[in-house]
């Protein structure tokens, strides 16, 4: 059975501090791989795995001075998402994160938001 997690019960920390104004966190894990072909046939006999790339986005209301500083100074940080619903808990940790870019958005009759794109050396899901 699937575990249903709630944004209202969850928290996301940046270097052990809550991320002010966080609206959304998304991430993607992409593993490079190479098929090893069999000789004399069109089938593969194995798969060789290589680099794993972890990318994500933090979307916050208005902006976040801490993230702006990490972007300007090219400094590493850690993100820990404690995802909860009732007794269910899932922790997702992103280690050695660096910010790649930042985009700002302000729509008519809306509140400003900033999206920060990051990469991580690894992601651990517990």
d(CA 9, CA 87) in angstroms, rounded, equals 10
Cα 110 to chain centroid distance, Å, stands at: 25
Q: Which pTM does this prediction carry?
A: 0.88
Residues of the chain short of pLDDT 50, as ranges, are none
Please report the pLDDT score of residue 96 as a whole number.
98
DSSP 3: P
Tell me the β-bridge partners of 53. 30
Domain ranges for the chain: 6-125
Architecture of domain 6-125 in this structure = Roll (2.30)
State the pLDDT at residue 112: 96
């Amino acid at each position: 059975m699937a575990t249903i997690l709630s944004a209202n019960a969850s928290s996301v920390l940046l270097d052990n501090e809550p991320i002010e104004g966080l609206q959304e966190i998304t991430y993607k894990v992409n593993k490079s791989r190479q098929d090893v072909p069999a000789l004399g046939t069109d089938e593969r006999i194995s798969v060789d795995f290589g680099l794993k790339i972890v990318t994500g986005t933090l979307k916050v209301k208005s902006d976040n001075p801490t993230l702006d500083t990490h972007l300007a100074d090219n400094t590493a940080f850690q993100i820990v998402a404690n995802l909860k619903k009732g007794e269910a808990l899932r922790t997702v940790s992103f280690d050695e994160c660096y910010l790649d870019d930042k985009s700002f958005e302000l729509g008519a009759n809306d509140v400003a938001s900033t999206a920060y794109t990051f990469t991580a050396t690894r992601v651990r899901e517990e």
